[in-house]
Each structure stands twice: as C-alpha cells, then as structure tokens.
Structure 1
Amino acid sequence: MAPDGHECSETIKCDKVMGFLFALLAASSYAVSGLIFKLAKDAGADEIQFSRSLLQYILVLPIATYKKKDIIAKDLKTNIILLFRGFTGVVANWTRFYAILFIPLGDAVSIVNTYVTLTGLFACICLKERCSLLDALLSILTFVGLLLVARPSFIFGNISTETPEHITAGVLLAFGSAVLASITIVCIRKLGSEIHFSVSMFHYTWIGLAFSLASAFSKGALSIPCTHDLIVLFLSAITGISGQMFMTLALQKDKAGQVVVVQSTEIIFALLLQLIVFRYYPTLTSLIGSLLIFGCSFVLTLKNTRSKTNKEDKTDSTSIDNVALKKQ
C-alpha cells in the first residue's frame, strides 16, 4: 500500500529536522577539530590528514562490510564522482589546515565558509538548481564579507600584526579550501542517498592516506610525533571523522544549499572557541565580515525554507484536489 500525502509530508519534515541536526553537529565538530589542530605543537597538516584518514579507514571499512555495501560502484560514472569527491575533499581539508596555521582560527573558518554561496553557484551549474537575483546579491555581500575578513593591504593598508606574506597565503589557502569544499558538497549531493555514507567516506580515506604520505615524503617531513601530538592527532581525527559523517548524513536528508547554510554556524563556534581558549579578540572588520558571511547564509536559509514550504503546500493542495475529483 502506497503512503498517503500526510505520511509523505511527515517524512519530509522528519528528514528536514534530521538534516538540520546533523549539519549543526558537523559544524561544531569541524570547529573543535580546527581548534585542536591550532593547539598542536609539531604535528603538521600531513600528519593530521594521515591520522584522520587512517582512523577513518579503520572505522568505516567494518561499517561498509556490515552493511554489505560494494566499495566499487557498478557504473563508471559513479566511480569517477566518488574518486573526484575523495580528492577534492582531501585537498580542501589539507588547505584548510594550512590556512589555520597562517591566520587566526575565526578568520580562516569565516573565509572557508564562503563555500555556502559557492555551493549554490556550482549546484546551479552542475545540478541545474535555480539561481535567483537574491542568490546573486547574497553572493556579492558574502564576497564583501570575505574582503573584510581578509583585509587586503591594497584596500586597508598593513593594519595587522601578522606578516603580509602569511596573511596572503592564509587567505588564498582558505578560499581554495572553500572552492574545493563546495565542489565536494555538490559531488555528495549528486551521488544521493543511493550510495551509503560509508562508501563515500571510504574513498576519502584511501585517497587521504595516499595524498598525505606523498606530500610528507616529498617534503622529507615524515616523522614519529611526540606523546602530546599523538593525543592531538587522535582527537583531531575523531572530531574530523564525526564532522564528515554528520555532514554526509545531513546531505542525504536535505538539500545541499540548506545543509551547508546550517553548517556555516561553524563561524560562530570558531569565534567563541578562539575567544575562550586563546583569548584572541577579533578585529572590528573581521567581526563585521564574519557576521556578514553568516548573515548572508542565514538569509539564504530562510529563502530556501520558504520556497520549499510553498512547493510542499502546492503539492498538498494538488493532491487534495485529485482525491476530491476521484471521489466525484
């Protein structure tokens, strides 16, 4: 017996709530992961990436085996998307770590979270999702917020205590991470719920292991970390895996645009952690830029939610009319 309109509506609402909760958990997990990496003494991005990928491999493989999921998809197109998702996700994570080293945690997270609007742009191009005039306006305002956080010297002058080279490198790495993260989100959404999250994460893990090892060997920086950094590596891996898992589950429950908007609350978590742990007070321009980026994300959430509600109301109304006609 097929489910009626009321049951379908309840299922949609339940998925929406679950998607919201998963995205919020992903945001807090990523913020804590960035904080832990900032606290590391000697562990670099390669060590963090390797430990996270290794632990994730150990945890994910039994899940995929238990669920009896095929690691390799049946068609070539899906396998290519899985590989591309894994590569972009690994490089996005790697560039994010290096950005946190060069600039404050809150600034790095704010710039990385511009991928909210970038995801909408790529989703419009790749997934044929609608892009309105308001979306374009929010994208421009997000870029203004990015400029306020980055504070380029050709606009603001050299007003930071950090060296200009470090600021430029950190901003470029953070923005590169945002671009790659948005592509990763679109790939996950393209795969849909037919691909179990453990399969998607498995491809991320083996690509992460290969990438981090190759990067460390090329720099001659592969070494055994001290006890303190071993703890840091383990905690960073746990929080990073949790964030990835929650994010994948959220994307399977709701639209890509809405999920990444909720996940952008990572900005708030990062600013609070930065203030509590490091006693670092953001500059006025950084704070305004971060709030502007978050505000644009919030407005985009309201827009998407209202649009989805209107569509659901129209669908319910059409279903009721069809039932009434059948009874006549």
Structure 2
Amino acid sequence: MELTQAQLDRAVGALLGGAVGDALGVPYEYGSRPLEAQPQMHGGGLGGIAPGQYSDDTEMAVCIARVAADGADLRTAEALDAVAAGFLQWYADGPPDIGVQTRRVLGETARQDGSAATMRRVATALHHETGHSGGNGSLMRTAPVALAHLGDPEAIADAARAVSSLTHHDPVAGDACVLWCLAVDHAVRTGELDVRVGLPLVDAGYWSPLLDEAEQAEPARYARNNGWVVAALQAAWSAIHRSASYPDGVVAAVNGGGDTDTVAAIAGALLGARYGADAIPAHWREMVHGWPGLRADELAAFALRTTATTRDH
C-alpha cells in the first residue's frame, strides 16, 4: 500500500510515541518518585536511568524494529531468529531494567543455542513451572509488528502472537498484542482510534467487556496490577479514551501509577499512531534517547524503512 505523508508521520509516531511515553514514565515507576501533575523526563526509576532515556519497553521494541526495517516477514523462522538474537544482544549488554520473566527466559536461552525455537521452549517451560506468564513485557514492545505488516490484519495477528510467544507463552499476552497491533495499524492507516477493530481475531467475549470496563474506569484503577498484560492494556486504553491529544494521553497513562513507563509506552505507541510524530512535543522528542545509542531521528528512520519495505511487498 502507498502511504500518504500523514500516514508516514503516524507510522513514525507509533515507534517514537512509545519511546517518549516510556521515557516520561521511567521516573515514576512503582513509586520511584511521587507522581506530578506534569510529568518530566527526570530519569532515575528502578534502574538509575538518565533523563530522557527510555527503558526496556523501547529497547526490546528496537530489537523488533531493526529486523522489520530490513524487510523481514516477522512470521518466518528466519525473522524470529533475528528478533531472538537481538533480544539476547540487548540482554548481554546489561540493561538497567528488565522484567523478571523476561530475564529468566533470555538468561536460559543464552545458555543454549539462542534460537527463537529454544527461546519459545524456555518460555513455555517457565509457564508450566510457574502457572503464569501473562506479564506486560510482550505488549510493551509490540508496536513495530504492526508497521511490518500494515494493511494485512491476519499477518499482523500471526506475527504479533509469534513475537509475543518468544518470551510470553500465555495466549492472553499474545491476544493483547494482536489487539494493540491491529489498533496501531488502523490508526496509522485511517487516523482513527479503534481498539476494537481486532476483536474478530481474538476472543471477543473475553476482551470486549474488559475494554468496556476500561472506558468507565480511571487509569489509576489498574495501578496495583498493571504489570499483568490485561490490566496494562486496560490502563493504557483508559488513558487514551479520556484524552484528546498525544500529550494528554501519555500524561494520563503516567499518572495512573504502577508500572508507569510500560503503560505510557503502550499508550504512547497507539497515541503516536493516531496523532503522528509531529504531535509529540518537540522538547520530549529532543530529549528521548536510549539503547543502542539511538535518538528520535534514528527511531523515525526505523519506522520509515519498515513502511517502505511493507509497501514493496
């Protein structure tokens, strides 16, 4: 599909918006710093992160974006191996903040052959050992999957589940990624927010009431458990639903509390896909940076390269 300039700006917004939301939420993660009416990119958080620096939410998204920018079909074994290799490279570089579940999966995979198949087996074994693997760690990084397959809902759904399952075996996590990626795709293509556009490709009976609930609740309702993928999605959608701009939405996501950087990264990706990169305040764009030495311009380049290869398919 050929994209207009407005659509290209929204595609960039999906990746850059997530990074900015992430960096804005870092200082307040799980009460690291008291919430402020107007959050700032102070840095700090749980990992001694620098002002304006994004965290694992965007770092893992970058691993996916680099593969997508090379034109890979994220459903293929080769692409998933490349994503897995990126995750392991990032893990080896010693990220300052990484979720417990993701750390265990990547640590065990690094001791084996490092392939996507092994990573998925390790994630499955962890699920069976603990009885749960529905953390928000695959949802936080999922937006680049939508850019890799714009306009192809079934491909997006398959790729979202495949990339999610590398570290999160729980199918609810995969379905959350499907819903969010299809909402990002819809927003980039149409400029509209519709998180329900993906309901036909997930269990609508499960998800539809949860979305209804999120629209009636404040983001803070989910602060105690938004490390869980369902509550994280609800918190992000709650913040978006009651906002009318990119800044309003990410501020609402941060001020919901709890896992502030992750909820704001999730919300920021969809808000950026709706309002575009140009709607992200310049001072936030200028400050944002992170692993592996990227700033806003490099993140934008990944998004544009991905959409260019999508158009060539």
Tell me, yes or no, whether TM beats 0.5: no
Give the TM-score taking structure 2 as reference length. 0.38
Write 1 or 2 for the structure with the bigger share of helix.
1
